[in-house]
Protein backbone atom coordinates (compact mmCIF):
# COMPACT_ATOMS: atom_id res chain seq x y z
CA UNK A 1 0.00 0.00 0.00
CA UNK A 2 1.32 3.44 -0.93
CA UNK A 3 0.78 5.96 1.86
CA UNK A 4 1.59 9.21 0.03
CA UNK A 5 0.87 11.55 2.95
CA UNK A 6 3.28 9.69 5.25
CA UNK A 7 5.92 9.02 2.55
CA UNK A 8 5.94 5.25 2.95
CA UNK A 9 4.92 1.89 1.55
CA UNK A 10 3.45 -0.77 3.81
CA UNK A 11 2.74 -4.42 3.15
CA UNK A 12 0.00 -6.36 4.88
CA UNK A 13 -0.82 -10.07 4.77
CA UNK A 14 -4.18 -11.32 3.49
CA UNK A 15 -5.48 -11.29 7.09
CA UNK A 16 -4.36 -7.62 7.40
CA UNK A 17 -1.39 -8.21 9.68
CA UNK A 18 1.36 -5.65 9.11
CA UNK A 19 4.45 -7.25 7.53
CA UNK A 20 6.87 -4.40 6.74
CA UNK A 21 7.24 -0.65 6.08
CA UNK A 22 9.62 1.19 3.75
CA UNK A 23 9.71 4.90 4.52
CA UNK A 24 12.43 6.83 2.67
CA UNK A 25 10.11 8.17 -0.03
CA UNK A 26 8.83 11.60 -1.04
CA UNK A 27 5.23 11.79 -2.28
CA UNK A 28 5.18 8.22 -3.62
CA UNK A 29 2.17 7.51 -5.85
CA UNK A 30 2.16 4.37 -8.01
CA UNK A 31 3.01 0.83 -6.99
CA UNK A 32 3.12 -2.58 -8.66
CA UNK A 33 4.33 -6.15 -8.19
CA UNK A 34 6.34 -7.79 -10.98
CA UNK A 35 4.88 -11.24 -10.36
CA UNK A 36 8.28 -12.62 -9.35
CA UNK A 37 9.85 -11.08 -6.23
CA UNK A 38 9.87 -7.30 -6.38
CA UNK A 39 7.64 -4.33 -5.70
CA UNK A 40 8.21 -1.13 -7.66
CA UNK A 41 7.21 2.30 -6.36
CA UNK A 42 6.97 5.57 -8.29
CA UNK A 43 8.80 7.82 -5.82
CA UNK A 44 7.41 11.03 -7.34
CA UNK A 45 9.13 13.66 -5.18
CA UNK A 46 12.56 12.01 -5.53
CA UNK A 47 12.20 11.57 -9.34
CA UNK A 48 12.92 7.85 -9.27
CA UNK A 49 11.47 4.35 -9.18
CA UNK A 50 12.38 2.26 -6.15
CA UNK A 51 12.64 -1.54 -6.25
CA UNK A 52 11.86 -3.34 -2.98
CA UNK A 53 12.08 -7.02 -2.05
CA UNK A 54 8.43 -8.12 -1.79
CA UNK A 55 9.09 -10.52 1.10
CA UNK A 56 11.07 -8.20 3.38
CA UNK A 57 10.56 -4.63 2.11
CA UNK A 58 14.33 -4.26 1.85
CA UNK A 59 15.66 -1.70 -0.62
CA UNK A 60 17.05 -3.38 -3.75
CA UNK A 61 17.67 -0.56 -6.25
CA UNK A 62 16.63 2.91 -7.40
CA UNK A 63 16.15 3.79 -11.05
CA UNK A 64 16.44 7.43 -12.08
CA UNK A 65 17.44 7.87 -15.73
CA UNK A 66 16.26 11.49 -15.96
CA UNK A 67 12.74 10.82 -14.65
CA UNK A 68 10.70 13.84 -13.58
CA UNK A 69 7.76 13.39 -11.20
CA UNK A 70 6.99 9.76 -12.10
CA UNK A 71 3.40 9.06 -11.00
CA UNK A 72 2.87 5.38 -11.76
CA UNK A 73 4.68 2.18 -12.60
CA UNK A 74 3.78 -1.17 -14.19
CA UNK A 75 6.02 -4.22 -14.51
CA UNK A 76 6.38 -7.59 -16.20
CA UNK A 77 8.96 -10.23 -15.36
CA UNK A 78 11.63 -8.32 -17.29
CA UNK A 79 10.46 -4.75 -18.03
CA UNK A 80 9.41 -1.69 -16.02
CA UNK A 81 7.06 0.93 -17.49
CA UNK A 82 6.89 4.38 -15.87
CA UNK A 83 4.46 7.27 -16.29
CA UNK A 84 7.14 9.98 -16.42
CA UNK A 85 4.59 12.73 -15.87
CA UNK A 86 6.96 15.69 -15.54
CA UNK A 87 8.61 14.94 -18.89
CA UNK A 88 5.38 13.95 -20.68
CA UNK A 89 6.63 10.46 -21.54
CA UNK A 90 6.04 6.84 -20.73
CA UNK A 91 9.42 5.22 -20.28
CA UNK A 92 10.57 1.60 -20.17
CA UNK A 93 13.63 -0.17 -18.86
CA UNK A 94 14.82 -3.68 -18.18
CA UNK A 95 15.75 -4.70 -14.65
CA UNK A 96 19.41 -5.14 -15.51
CA UNK A 97 20.19 -1.47 -16.10
CA UNK A 98 19.19 2.09 -15.36
CA UNK A 99 18.85 2.92 -19.06
CA UNK A 100 15.44 4.30 -19.95
CA UNK A 101 13.96 4.57 -23.42
CA UNK A 102 10.78 6.21 -24.61
CA UNK A 103 8.04 3.60 -24.76
CA UNK A 104 5.83 4.42 -27.74
CA UNK A 105 6.42 4.40 -31.47
CA UNK A 106 5.04 7.64 -32.89
CA UNK A 107 4.07 8.24 -36.51
CA UNK A 108 5.62 11.71 -36.39
CA UNK A 109 7.77 13.80 -34.09
CA UNK A 110 4.81 15.95 -33.02
CA UNK A 111 2.98 13.16 -31.19
CA UNK A 112 3.59 12.46 -27.51
CA UNK A 113 1.78 11.97 -24.23
CA UNK A 114 0.12 14.79 -22.33
CA UNK A 115 0.76 14.33 -18.60
CA UNK A 116 0.61 10.52 -18.40
CA UNK A 117 -0.40 9.75 -14.83
CA UNK A 118 -1.62 6.14 -14.55
CA UNK A 119 -0.73 2.78 -16.12
CA UNK A 120 -2.40 -0.62 -16.22
CA UNK A 121 -0.69 -3.65 -17.72
CA UNK A 122 -3.01 -6.44 -18.90
CA UNK A 123 -1.91 -10.07 -19.09
CA UNK A 124 -2.93 -9.99 -22.76
CA UNK A 125 0.07 -7.77 -23.49
CA UNK A 126 -1.60 -4.36 -23.60
CA UNK A 127 -0.57 -1.29 -21.64
CA UNK A 128 -3.34 1.21 -20.84
CA UNK A 129 -2.16 4.78 -20.29
CA UNK A 130 -4.19 7.53 -18.62
CA UNK A 131 -3.33 11.07 -19.70
CA UNK A 132 -4.64 13.90 -17.56
CA UNK A 133 -3.34 16.81 -19.66
CA UNK A 134 -5.77 16.54 -22.58
CA UNK A 135 -9.34 17.91 -22.63
CA UNK A 136 -10.47 16.30 -19.39
CA UNK A 137 -8.18 13.29 -19.81
CA UNK A 138 -8.17 10.17 -21.92
CA UNK A 139 -7.14 6.51 -21.85
CA UNK A 140 -5.00 5.04 -24.64
CA UNK A 141 -4.24 1.37 -25.40
CA UNK A 142 -0.80 0.17 -26.60
CA UNK A 143 0.88 -3.16 -27.22
CA UNK A 144 3.88 -3.69 -24.93
CA UNK A 145 6.02 -3.30 -28.07
CA UNK A 146 4.92 0.37 -28.09
CA UNK A 147 2.44 0.39 -30.96
CA UNK A 148 -0.79 2.28 -30.33
CA UNK A 149 -3.78 -0.03 -30.68
CA UNK A 150 -6.56 2.38 -29.81
CA UNK A 151 -6.54 6.11 -29.11
CA UNK A 152 -8.92 7.83 -26.72
CA UNK A 153 -10.86 4.98 -25.17
CA UNK A 154 -13.94 6.24 -23.32
CA UNK A 155 -13.67 9.59 -25.07
CA UNK A 156 -17.33 10.45 -24.52
CA UNK A 157 -16.85 10.43 -20.75
CA UNK A 158 -13.62 12.29 -19.86
CA UNK A 159 -11.57 10.71 -17.08
CA UNK A 160 -10.48 13.97 -15.47
CA UNK A 161 -7.78 13.48 -12.85
CA UNK A 162 -7.82 9.68 -12.63
CA UNK A 163 -6.51 8.29 -9.35
CA UNK A 164 -5.90 4.85 -10.86
CA UNK A 165 -6.88 2.36 -13.54
CA UNK A 166 -7.55 -1.38 -13.46
CA UNK A 167 -8.26 -3.73 -16.35
CA UNK A 168 -10.56 -6.76 -16.24
CA UNK A 169 -8.71 -9.45 -18.16
CA UNK A 170 -11.77 -10.65 -20.11
CA UNK A 171 -12.27 -7.11 -21.46
CA UNK A 172 -8.83 -6.64 -23.00
Q: How far apart are CA 4 and CA 17, in angstroms?
A: 20
Give me the pLDDT at residue 170, please.
46
Residue 145 has pLDDT above 70, yes or no: yes
Q: What is the mean pLDDT of residues 13-38?
A: 91
Point out the least confidently predicted range of 44-53, 86-95, 137-146: 137-146
Q: How far apart are CA 91 and CA 83, in angstroms?
A: 7
Kindly state the percentage of the chain with pLDDT values over 70: 78
Give me the pLDDT at residue 132, please.
82
More confident residue, 6 or 124: 6
- Assign 171 a pLDDT band (cuts: 50, 70, 90): very low
- Assign 46 a pLDDT band (cuts: 50, 70, 90): very high
Using CA atoms of 10, 14, 17, 18 in order, give the dihedral in degrees to the nearest 10: -10
More confident residue, 151 or 29: 29
Q: Under CATH, domain 2-171 is a member of which superfamily?
A: TolB, C-terminal domain (2.120.10.30)
Residue 44 has pLDDT above 70, yes or no: yes
Q: Contact 144/126 with Cβ under 8 angstroms?
A: yes
**151-156, Cβ contacts within 8 angstroms, sequence gap of 24 or more:** 153/128
Domains in the chain: boundaries: 2-171
pLDDT per residue as tens digits for the range 72-120 = 999 988 889 999 999 988 999 887 666 778 887 665 555 678 888 999 9
Residue 18 has pLDDT above 60, yes or no: yes
Amino acid sequence: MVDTANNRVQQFSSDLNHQWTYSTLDSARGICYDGVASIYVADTGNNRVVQLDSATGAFVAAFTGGLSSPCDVAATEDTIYVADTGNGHVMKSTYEDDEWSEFAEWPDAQTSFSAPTRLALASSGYLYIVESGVDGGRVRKFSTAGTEVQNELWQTDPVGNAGGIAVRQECV
